[in-house]
Amino acid sequence: MQLAHGQAVASFEKDVLYRLWVADRGGVYVPADEKTPPSPYLSHIKERDITTPGGKRLTLVNGAYMTRQVHELGRQIFETKAHITSLKPIREANAPDPWERQALESFARGSKEFSSIEEMKGKHYYRFMRPLITDEKCLKCHAKHGYKVGDIRGGISVSIPMEPLWAAGRGSIVAISVGHFVLWGLGLATLFGLSRRLRAQMAQREHAENELGESERRLDYLANYDSLTHLPNRALFHDRLVQALLRARRSKKMLALLFIDLDHFKNINDSLGHAKGDLLIQAVAARLAGCMREDDTVARLGGDEFAVIMENVEDASGAGAIARKIIQTVSSPVHLDDRELYVGASIGISLYPTDGMDAGMLVMNADTAMYLAKERGRGNYQFFTGELNSKLERNLVLENGLHSVLERNELVLYFQPKMDIHSRRVIGSEALLRWQHPELGMIPPLDFVPLAETNGMIVPIGEWVLRAACLQNKAWQDAGHPGLSVAVNLSARQLRQPDLVATVGAILKETGLTADSLELEITESMMMENPEACIEKLKLIRALGVGISIDDFGTGHSSLRYLT
């Protein structure tokens, strides 16, 4: 019975892993043929069938389709039967038999598994069944059938033939009986030898079974827990969040989700190495666990990111109090090998039900709030708000529009004059970039330049600004205003481009503007990111004859040595 149960559990877990693997990838494509024709249950998916450049026809299969084919192969090779079934079957072939219906009804009452020995077509089988719980990945195929996250949408029944196992048991009994007969015949000496051998076989078998059980336990642990901190990993965190939301929905209680990201952890990894970084992560994980209640879940999502699920929260202030406690605890020094290491924590908080009704929305909103905490100076916590969501939606519109802003010719340059106070004469100008968005109107650079820095569009946009400013200044000079200069701001990403000097020289040559009529502005904080490399690049630009000025002076803590 134990062997049969172990085989059944292994078969079920293997099937679930297949389904999760396929669902996580949105389905897999396989050659379409008689064995695997296109699934009529995926006809609502536009790209169900595709043709490769080589002319091969592929069709999309979901987890259930693939699992059914694996079941058929298992039945042919190992005589192990498995069946996907439900009280609301989509296919007629998935309808439950009486035993399966009894199991499914027990799941609805809260049972976790169902098993018994049953006779099927004259043979005895160990029948085993566990439920299938709907999660986010399942909704691609099952949402249209009315399933929601957390619903029991059916189960997988596994049938293990008992005859081979009983035969093994009878063989053991026969072997022992023959051994007894020989023992009586050959005397005590033979009895000693055979009993010693039998004990060795039994010990070997017990050892093998123990190793198998230990391997299964270790696989289960590795699949659900982080090996460094021994906290729940991302997969187990998601499962616990789904279950916590179900409990919160039933009890009408508030739930808080905290996303925690360590501040400046990368600096420690880069300077002291990953081994020290791992020790620091372990220390932080222990501190986080010490801050929480016994029923709360602390998980490590990866890298220096952690998450906390707090159930039965009375109000938002309770989550805020825990966030303050975490920030204070994490920020105290960590002692490693006679070193004091300091890290901080930025925390984003989302609340059920105000900030989301499902796990995906709560995770996304907590992550968004965490990045707001980083933007506001790190070492603080932020709640998700509707205004933050509006800002995100606006940023998404801007980021999507940035990719084609040059092709649509939506960028505009304004020029702020520079005047000589004594002569009251305009001696130059500074180019100011604006974006004339077709829907949002005139957008200042502070709203879109950071987004362009992130997605890389700042490099072509910066080249456009430099070229347009030089062309305009050259036109003013040709119109009878000699000696005018134009100042153009450089972004941090432009300054890091290896071909910046060549680009500046090429644009001056292309526009015909003399180098002494161009001035490049960089912020002091940009220069201080890597002052030595920055100075070398500025020397090359200065060698072209181009002027250089420092913007936002006094904010980057530069020394007099660097200023000279």
Got the DSSP string for 472-540?
HHHHHHHTT-TT-EEEEEPPHHHHH-TTHHHHHHHHHHHHT--GGGEEEEEEHHHHTTSHHHHHHHHHH
pLDDT of residue 108: 86
- 209: which 2 tokens? 């079974």
Contact 518, 485 (CB under 8 A): yes
74 or 163, which is more confident? 163
Task: Encode pLDDT of 113-143 as tens digits.
Answer: 899 998 888 888 899 999 988 878 777 777 7
Burial 496-533 (b: 16+ CB within 10 A, else e): ebeebbebbbebbeebebebebbbbbbbbebbeeeeee
- 317: which 2 tokens? 């202030």
Contact 79, 85 (CB under 8 A): no
Indicate the helix (H) or strand (E) that contains 373.
helix 359-375
Q: Is 466 helix (H, G, I), strand (E, B) or coil?
A: helix
Indicate the helix (H) or strand (E) that contains 459.
helix 458-478
pLDDT of residue 555: 60
Average pLDDT over residues 429-457: 87
Q: Give phi and psi for 490, each to the nearest 5.
A: -100, 140
Compute the distance between CA of residue 57 and CA of residue 49 in angstroms, rounded to an integer.
Answer: 7
Task: Encode pLDDT of 284-343 as tens digits.
Answer: 999 998 888 888 999 999 889 999 999 998 888 888 889 999 999 998 888 887 788 888
Task: Encode pLDDT of 511-520 as tens digits.
Answer: 999 999 999 9
pLDDT of residue 7: 80
Mean pLDDT estimate for the chain: 85
Q: Quote the pTM value.
A: 0.43
